[in-house]
């Protein structure tokens, strides 16, 4: 009798195992199976600079150039060209954004507005754990956003939940925007907008990186136009839902 019961329970267990979906631990490592994230060497440069949005100083011509950005899900190219220039010195990291844009969509100006509901350039960066990183943004009207993000990832490296500390302020960060066009007016044709940014390392809680140091970061853009679908663009596409996928951040290697 006991033998019959044992065989019955074993058969039931086998059926149950077949029906139930595989657990997360049994599923393929989603982040690991994707192509490797992008990588760039950020040059250490010196030169006179006025943060005015023009990007016309000689030092910008020597910066690393990241272009083009692509659709974040990897499905295709950007509609309008985006170029990001990056360099650093003993005190700060410098970003120069040039966003071709025939229809500039922006109305927000207050700090920490929800710029992603319109058009914005975004920079996520960490020198340490991927679970905690800085989110910085600049929009065509000169608005700024700064927050510290805490992100929880599963065993596959995929984000399951993130929260932001919007009380954080990058006190020394400076930025300026040059807009060639009229924001929020789809009846005319605009040209572009540029954002010039200086981020002191102290605002990121870090000393000046040593040569060969590697941080993780990504560059994003929301591009919108009347009658067109919004484009969510990135330098190192996450290929997973959303921008907050730190396992897919690219690698910033600091040069000599």
User: What's 96's domain CATH number?
Assistant: 2.60.40.1190
Measured CA to CA, the distance from residue 40 to residue 187 in angstroms comes to 39
Q: How far is it between the farthest Cα atoms of the chain?
A: 90
75 within some domain? yes
Q: Is residue 1 part of a domain?
A: no
Is 216:125 a contact under the CB 8 Å cutoff?
yes
Token pair belonging to 159? 């984000």
User: Does residue 12 have a pLDDT over 70?
Assistant: no
- Cα–Cα dist 219/243, whole Å: 9
25 falls within a domain: no
pLDDT digits 0-9 by tens, 140-186? 999 999 999 999 999 999 999 999 999 999 999 999 999 999 999 99
In a domain, 121, yes or no: yes
Residue 50 structural domain? 37-254
Tens-digit pLDDT profile for residues 177-214: 999 999 999 999 999 999 999 999 999 999 999 999 99
107 - beta bridge partners? none
Asked if the structure places residue 116 within a domain, the reply is: yes
Would residue 159 count as lying in a domain? Answer: yes
Number of domains in the chain: 1
Q: 200 and 51 in contact (C-beta within 8 Å)? A: no
Give the global pTM: 0.87
Whether the per-residue pLDDT at 20 is higher than 70: the answer is no
- Written as six digits, the tokens of 124 are 């996520």
93 within some domain: yes
Q: Lowest mean pLDDT of 9-23, 68-82, 93-107, 211-225, name the range.
A: 9-23
Confirm whether 83 is domain-assigned.
yes
Cα angle, residue 131 at apex, residues 160 and 43 outer, rounded to 5°: 125
């Amino acid at each position: 009798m006991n033998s019959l019961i044992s065989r019955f329970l074993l058969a039931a267990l086998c059926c149950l195992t077949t029906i139930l979906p595989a657990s997360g631990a049994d599923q393929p490592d989603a982040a690991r199976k994707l192509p490797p994230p992008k990588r760039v060497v950020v040059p250490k440069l010196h030169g006179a600079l006025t943060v005015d949005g023009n990007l016309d100083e000689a030092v910008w011509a020597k910066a690393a150039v990241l272009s083009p950005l692509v659709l974040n899900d990897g499905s295709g190219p950007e509609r309008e060209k985006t170029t990001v220039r990056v360099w650093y010195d003993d005190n700060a990291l410098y970003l120069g954004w040039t966003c071709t844009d025939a229809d500039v969509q922006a109305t927000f100006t207050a700090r920490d507005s929800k710029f992603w509901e319109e058009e914005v350039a975004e920079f996520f960066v960490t020198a340490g754990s991927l679970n905690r990183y800085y989110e910085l943004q600049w929009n065509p009207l000169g608005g700024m956003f700064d927050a510290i993000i805490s992100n929880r990832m599963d065993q596959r490296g995929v984000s399951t939940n993130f929260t932001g500390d919007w009380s954080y302020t990058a006190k020394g960060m400076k930025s300026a925007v040059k807009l060639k066009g009229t924001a929020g007016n789809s009846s005319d044709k605009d040209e572009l907008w540029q954002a010039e940014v200086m981020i002191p390392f102290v605002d990121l809680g870090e000393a000046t990186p040593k040569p060969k140091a590697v941080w993780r970061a990504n560059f994003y853009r929301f591009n919108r136009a009347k009658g067109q679908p919004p484009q969510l663009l990135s330098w190192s596409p996450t290929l997973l839902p959303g921008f907050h996928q730190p396992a897919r951040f690219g690698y910033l290697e600091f040069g000599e």
